[in-house]
Structure 1
């Protein structure tokens, strides 16, 4: 009798926990973001358009200092990925284009080259070992979460890639901009980078920093 009661109790717990699982949590972008993601949109207001994003078909604008463009399909652009642990973006690199050293603190990245040639790599946090390779159409490369990595168009024509992430909001910090596109005093940048003041001020001028 005790065994039957135990089985029934476990079955009840299983059914109760299963019933509490939501199919999805489409982001309600009208409400503030939180560390656990956006609040869920009222299920009655969810439509198929929340699960479709058509923004990756167009070429990104690469007329900028890095000759590159990233078109994201993160939660803010694609509410349906909220809470699902996935997202994607399009990467366009003009000839000579580069995505400088950067990190995604919120997720790992998988890059798939669909046009052109891209040299990509990352730096490990142990011994600063570098892993890099020239990638061609159809090649993929993974970049572990939080590690510094880069992509460079190493071919003679435009390059295109799709990058997927293990988070709907992977985050982004570009090292050059973190150092030289803010108002951190020049003397502190000099002290922490071993560059001289003239170099720091030049880079601040190029990237829009002050101080």
Structure 2
């Protein structure tokens, strides 16, 4: 390989490395960046308050995550602790959620666009799974018991179901973003405001328009609080 060819390969590798660096979140450049909720400045994340004004309560929330939560009609309740609840999480790339499941309740298929999730069962049993991206769409699932751990990769559709008809279940999830986001598939597709055209959805799901209209008329309740 000549000098010019070697030089071109080196440039290509440097460009690839630079692109990969830009494709991930930047590392924090200070100990913390507590949210300044009064700042009029808009950035990707939140503006830092003056470190001299930071106090212990910026890193604390009396969330009472040890107490059961009331579930909704799908039989679950996700209590998320992210940067909106703890200002000190800004730039730290992590959040936490308690998930309560009624007997036969489910946390329906959803994605986190900005986070990988690692889930630990605290009480009960869960049937969990996720689907890989196109073109394979491989479905991976597992039954989890108390103390078991499962990982849902960033952006992939996943769910959890409590298969027990008599006992509730509880899990704790850690997520690799201060603000992971959640897109519940049925809510987004059939409950969007304004609604997606029934012509579009009928063709996409290969069903009659009246089926789509019936689905769009349902009340798609949010279980992320």
- TM-score w.r.t. the length of structure 2 is 0.78
Among 85, 92, 104, the alignment partner of 1:84 is 92
Q: Determine the C-alpha separation between the residues in 1 that align with 2:120 and 2:178.
A: 18
- TM-superposed CA distance for 1:80, in Å, is 1.3
Match status 1:109 vs 2:121: no
- TM-superposed CA distance for 1:44, in Å, is 2.4
Q: Determine the C-alpha separation between the residues in 1 that align with 2:202 and 2:43.
A: 34
Among 103, 124, 129, the alignment partner of 2:132 is 124
Contact 2:186 2:220 in 1 (8 A): no
- TM-superposed CA distance for 1:57, in Å, is 2.8
Among 197, 200, 209, the alignment partner of 2:212 is 200
Structure 2 unaligned blocks of 5 or more: 1-27
- TM-superposed CA distance for 1:113, in Å, is 0.4
Contact 2:202 2:212 in 1 (8 A): yes
Deviations 1:136-163 (A, max 9, x none): 1100100000111001111231110011
Contact 2:75 2:106 in 1 (8 A): yes
Runs of 4+ deviating beyond 4 Å: 32-35
Aligned to 2:162: 153
Aligned to 2:185: 175
Aligned-residue Cα RMSD (Å) equals: 2.0
Q: Determine the C-alpha separation between the residues in 2 that align with 1:139 and 1:32.
A: 44
| Secondary structure, aligned partner of 1:192 | helix
